């Protein structure tokens, strides 16, 4: 029903538009802040900052991922951690303001190991703790032994023995 003194407002459409507007403002702010950080620490050209959908981002070359998951539902946090476990290169670091649930730390021979907890102060929380984890990839001993054996066989054959 259309009100007499104005247009009918589609709240779903309006809230989505407002949400997109805030997302663009936040993205612009983060791009500016990241550029300032790179300049301040002499890292221009050495680092790349990205602000994008966590489940769609290409993290295959990432060395450091910051998960800001406070407002995320539990299932989204779990999906993001599983994506990182599967796609990050070995030795990548993951930093989060909250601990990563223990059941999400391993996947198919890949493991996120908690390395440190750092107490710090943020504008929204003066007693904040950041958790740092590193991706470790376990190699099966059997595979390593087979590779060594093959290399030794080639060396013996090359020497004419």
All structural domains of the chain with their residue ranges: 1-46, 52-158
DSSP H or E stretch at residue 119: strand 110-122
Task: Report CA Rg, the chain.
Answer: 24
Q: How far apart are CA 159 and CA 129, in angstroms?
A: 59
* Tens of pLDDT, residues 38-76: 888 888 888 777 777 778 888 888 888 887 777 788 888
Enumerate residues 6+ apart whose C-beta is below 8 A from 43.
37
* Tens of pLDDT, residues 99-125: 776 555 666 677 777 777 878 787 778
Q: How many CB atoms lie within 10 A of CB 34?
A: 16
Task: Give me the pLDDT at residue 26, please.
Answer: 65
What is the pairing mode between strands 125-137 and 106-107? unpaired
């Amino acid at each position: 029903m259309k009100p007499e003194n104005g247009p009918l407002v589609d709240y779903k459409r309006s809230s989505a538009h407002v949400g997109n507007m805030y997302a663009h403002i936040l993205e612009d702010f983060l791009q500016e802040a990241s550029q300032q950080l790179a300049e301040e620490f002499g890292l221009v050209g050495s680092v790349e900052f990205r602000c994008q959908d966590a489940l769609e981002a290409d993290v295959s070359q990432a060395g450091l991922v910051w998960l800001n998951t406070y407002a995320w539902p539990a299932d989204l946090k779990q999906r993001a951690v599983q994506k990182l476990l599967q796609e990050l290169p070995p030795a990548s670091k993951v930093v989060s303001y909250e601990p990563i649930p223990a059941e999400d730390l391993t996947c198919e021979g890949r493991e996120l190991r908690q390395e440190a907890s750092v107490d710090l102060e943020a504008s929204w929380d003066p007693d904040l703790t950041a958790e740092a984890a590193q991706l470790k990839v376990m190699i099966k001993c059997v595979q390593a032994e087979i590779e060594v054996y093959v290399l030794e066989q080639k060396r013996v054959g090359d020497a004419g023995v």
